[in-house]
Amino acid sequence: LAKTTQPISMDSYEGQEVNITCSHNNIATNDYITWYQQFPSQGPRFIIQGYKTKVTNEVASLFIPADRKSSTLSLPRVSLSDTAVYYCLAIGQNFVFGPGTRLSVLP
Amino acid sequence: DTEVTQTPKHLVMGMTNKKSLKCEQHMGHRAMYWYKQKAKKPPELMFVYSYEKLSINESVPSRFSPECPNSSLLNLHLHALQPEDSALYLCASSQVAGNTEAFFGQGTRLTVV
């Protein structure tokens, strides 16, 4: 299983763009990169997934360089409600969560 | 319907009790998962069912016993638990095992006294 490494925590202010980078040096050829968001006492919620280059949806963008050894989740214009833990997963066969990044959005 | 429903939402049980957690999905998913999550820690994978067969058991103690009666239901039977088993238990499902989008339930908050 590919091991992922993310910053433990990040602070931002409302209206700013937030970029969270995840390292997955030993990612396998078949692994997709997927990001989840989790609020306290709730189950994780899927945000975005990608294999390479750039993926964008209504919530976020995901940037994956050609070597696929890292990825960056970009959250445009965050609000207080984006305060949560964000998990990066390099998924081959199953969903194994790393420690995640605790994002705090300040007013 | 993109929902995974878990019952009960909260459960308090004694160390000699037997109880069960229930998880249900109607999305036609053929992979279902149980996770355990302690406070301020990531979800920890316990079991994976694929096409109603147990495919992964992450060395979980036998006091946790999973069951998949059909493709929509997943149970977790609990017996002789310890206080350190108190946690949020999460169920998830995906189209097939390893598929990249999993849907999670809200969890059952379990307290063992």
Mean pLDDT by 10 residues, chain B (113 residues): 91 96 96 95 94 93 96 96 97 86 95 97
* Confidence (pLDDT) at A93: 60
Q: Nearest Cβ partner of B42 from A93, A94, A98? A: A98
Candidate from A44-58, A85-99, B57-71 with smallest mean pLDDT: A85-99
pLDDT of residue B99: 65
Provide the shortest C-alpha distance from residue A8 to chain B (in Å): 11
Instruction: Report yes or no: A34 at the B interface, CB cutoff 8 Å.
Output: yes
- pLDDT at residue B1, rounded to an integer: 66
Residue B101 sits at the chain A interface (C-beta within 8 Å): yes
Between A94 and B52, where is the model more confident? B52
User: Torsions phi, psi of A28, nearest 5?
Assistant: -85, 160
Residues in chain A with CB shorter than 8 Å from the CB of B98 are 91-94
pLDDT at residue A90, rounded to an integer = 85
Asked if A93 is an interface residue toward chain B (Cβ–Cβ < 8 A), one would say: yes
Chain A 38-77, CB below 8 Å of chain B: which residues?
41-46, 49
Who among B33, B105, B107 is closest to A95 (CB)?
A: B33
Among left, alpha and beta (phi > 0; psi -120 to 50; other), residue A67 is: alpha
Of A93, A94, A97, the CB nearest to B42: A97
Q: Judge whether B13 is closer than 8 Å to chain A, CB to CB.
A: no
Given an 8 Å threshold on Cβ–Cβ distance, is B97 in contact with A99? no
CB B88 within 8 A of CB B37: yes
Within 8 A by CB and 6+ apart from A64, the residues are A33, A50, A51, A52, A53, A54, A55, A70, A71
Kindly state the DSSP code that residue A29 receives in the 8-state scheme: T
Neighbours of A69 (CB within 10 A): 15
Tell me whether residues B100 and A45 touch, CB distance under 8 A. Answer: no
